[in-house]
Amino acid sequence: MWKITYRVHRQKGHEAPHYDTFQVEVDPEEYVLDGVEKIWAFEDRSLTFRHACHHSTCGACGMRVNGVEKLTCITKIKDVTQDGGTLTVEPLRNFPIVSDLVVDLGPLYRKMEAVQAPKVHPLSMAPWEGEDIRPPKEVPAPPEGGEYIRLPDCLECGICISACPVAASDPDYLGPAPLAAIQIQGLDGHPELLALADSQEGVWRCHSAFECSAVCPSNVDPGWRIMDLRKQVATQRLKTIIG
Amino acid sequence: MKADKHNSKGFWDWFNPAGRDVGGWAFILNRISALGLAFYLYLHLFVLGKLAQGPEVFDQFIAAAKSPLYIAGELLVIAAALYHGLNGVRLVLNSFNIGVPRQKQMFYTALALTILGTLVFATRMFAG
Amino acid sequence: MSKPHAIVIGAGFTGTAIAHDLALRGFDVTVVERGPIANGTSGRTHGLLHSGGRYAVKDQESAIECIEENIILRKIVPDVIEPNGGLFIAVTEDDLAYKETFIQGCEACGIPVDEITPQEALRLEPNLNPKLLAALIVPDGTFDPLRLALSFAASAKKNGAVFHLFTDVVDMLLDGSGNVTGVKVWDRTNGERYDIHSDIVVNATGAWVGQITKMAHAHVPIKPTPGIMVAYDRRLVNRAINRLNRPSDGDIVLPQRRLAVVGTTSFSIDDVDYVPIDRQQVELMLQRGAELIPAIRQARERGVYMATRPLIGASGPGRSISRTFKAYDHKDLDNVDGLVTITGGKATTCRAMAEKTVDIVCQKLGLNIPCTTAEVPLTSYRAFYA
Ligand SMILES: Cc1cc2nc3c(=O)[nH]c(=O)nc-3n(C[C@H](O)[C@H](O)[C@H](O)COP(=O)(O)OP(=O)(O)OC[C@H]3O[C@@H](n4cnc5c(N)ncnc54)[C@H](O)[C@@H]3O)c2cc1C
Ligand code: SF4
Ligand code: FES
Residues A55, C229 contacting (CB under 8 angstroms) = yes
Burial of C92 by CB count in 10 Å (0-12 exposed, 13-18 middle, 19+ buried)? Answer: middle
Residue C60 has pLDDT above 90, yes or no: yes
β partners of residue C159: none
Same domain, A205 and A95: no
**Interchain CB contacts (distance < 8 Å): A and B:** 109
The CATH number of C48-143+223-312 is 3.30.9.10
pLDDT digits (tens, 9 = 90+) for A107-149: 999 999 999 999 999 888 877 665 544 455 567 777 777 889 9
The answer to whether residue C290 neighbours chain A at the CB level (below 8 Å) is: no
Lowest mean pLDDT among A139-143, A232-236, C92-96: A139-143
Last residue of a domain, one of A78, A103, A128: A103
CA distances from residue B74 to B31, B34, B36 in whole angstroms, order as listed: 19, 15, 11
Q: Ligand nearest C209 Cα, by number?
A: 1
Contact criterion met (CB below 8 Å) for B37 and A219: no
CATH number of the domain where residue A96 is located: 3.10.20.30
Q: What is the DSSP string of chain B?
A: ----EES--GGGGGG--TT--HHHHHHHHHHHHHHHHHHHHHHHHHHHHHHTT-HHHHHHHHHHHTSHHHHHHHHHHHHHHHHHHHHHHHHHHHHTTSSGGGHHHHHHHHHHHHHHHHHHHHHHHHH-
* CATH code, domain carrying A203: 1.10.1060.10
B30-127 fold:
3 helical TM bundles of succinate and fumarate reductases (1.20.1300)
- pLDDT category of residue A63 using cuts at 50, 70 and 90: very high
Q: Tell me, what's the pLDDT at A137? A: 58
- The span from the CA of A215 to the CA of A163, in Å, is 7
Q: What is the pLDDT of residue C308?
A: 93
Whole-number Å distance, alpha carbon B124 to ligand 3 midpoint, is 57
pLDDT score of C316: 42
The domains spanning C5-41+146-221+323-384 and C48-143+223-312 adopt the same CATH topology:
no
Q: Of the ligands numbered here, which is closest to the C-alpha atom of C269? A: 1
pLDDT at C92 over 90: yes
Name the average pLDDT for chain C. Answer: 94
Per-residue pLDDT of C100-132, as tens digits, reads 999 999 999 999 999 999 999 999 999 999 999
Q: Considering its fold, how many domains does chain A have in total?
A: 2
C165 with B1: Cβ contact below 8 A: yes
Mean predicted lDDT score pLDDT of chain A: 92
Q: Does domain C5-41+146-221+323-384 have CATH number 3.50.50.60?
A: yes
Q: Sheet harboring C301-312: ordered strands across?
A: C114-116, C134-138, C86-90, C240-243, C252-256, C259-263, C222-232, C301-312
Q: Which chains are within 8 Å of B by 3+ CB pairs? A: A, C
Reply yes or no on whether the pLDDT at C303 is more than 80.
yes
Sequence-separated (6 or more) residues with CB below 8 Å from residue A199: A174
Label residue C377 by pLDDT band (50, 70, 90): very high
Least confident of A17-31, C17-31, C184-198, C320-334: C320-334
Higher pLDDT, B126 or B123: B123
Q: Is A152 on the interface with C (CB under 8 A)?
A: yes
Q: Give the closest residue (by CA) to ligand 2 atom 8.
A: A157
The average pLDDT across A46-64 equals 98
Kindly state the average pLDDT of the residues B10-38: 89
State which of A71, A103, A135 marks the end of a domain: A103
- pLDDT class of B73 with cuts at 50, 70, 90: confident
Domain span holding position A14: 2-103
Residue A116 sits in the same domain as residue A232: yes
Query: What b/e readout covers A107-130, taking b as 16+ CB neighbours within 10 angstroms?
Result: bbbebbbbbebbbbbebebbeeee
Q: Which of A31-45, A66-80, A84-98, C261-275 has the lowest mean pLDDT?
A: C261-275
Choice between B2 and B79, residue whose per-residue pLDDT is larger: B79
Closest Cα in chain A to C42: A52
- Residue A7, CA atoms < 13 Å, CB-side half-sphere: 13
Residues of chain C contacting A155 with CB distance shorter than 8 Å: 257
Looking at the fold, whether A37 and A19 belong to one and the same domain comes out as yes
For the cut 70, the answer to whether the pLDDT of residue C264 exceeds it is yes
Domain locations in chain C? 5-41+146-221+323-384, 48-143+223-312
Give the model confidence (pLDDT) of C309-364 as tens digits: 888 775 444 444 455 788 899 999 899 999 999 988 999 999 999 999 999 999 99
- At residue C314, the pLDDT reads 54
Whether A96 and A118 map to the same domain: the answer is: no
The answer to whether the CB atoms of B2 and C166 lie below 8 A apart is no
Instruction: For residues A183 and A231, give the distance between their C-alpha atoms in angstroms, rounded to a whole number.
Output: 10
- The average pLDDT across B94-108 equals 90
Mind listing the pLDDT tens digit for each residue in B112-121?
999 999 999 9
Q: Which of B3, B16, B18 is facing A104, going by the closest CB pair?
A: B3
Is residue C304 helix, strand or coil? Answer: strand
DSSP code for A39: I
Whether pLDDT at C1 is above 70: no
The pLDDT tens digits for C200-217 are 999 999 999 999 999 999
Overall average pLDDT of the C47-53 stretch = 97
> Based on the domain organization, do A207 and A146 belong to the same domain?
yes
Q: Which residue has the higher pLDDT, A128 or C268?
A: C268
Task: Mark whether A219 and A155 lie in a shared domain.
Answer: yes
Q: Which residues of B touch A68 (CB under 8 A)?
A: 19
**Of A103, A138, A164, which marks where a domain is finished?**
A103
| pLDDT tens-digit readout, C241-256 | 999 999 999 999 999 9
Q: Which of A66, A92, A210 sits opposite B23 (nearest CB)?
A: A210
**Angle formed by the axes of helices A222-242 and A176-185, to 10°?**
50
Is A68's Cβ below 8 Å from some Cβ in B? Answer: yes
- Provide the mean pLDDT of chain B: 86
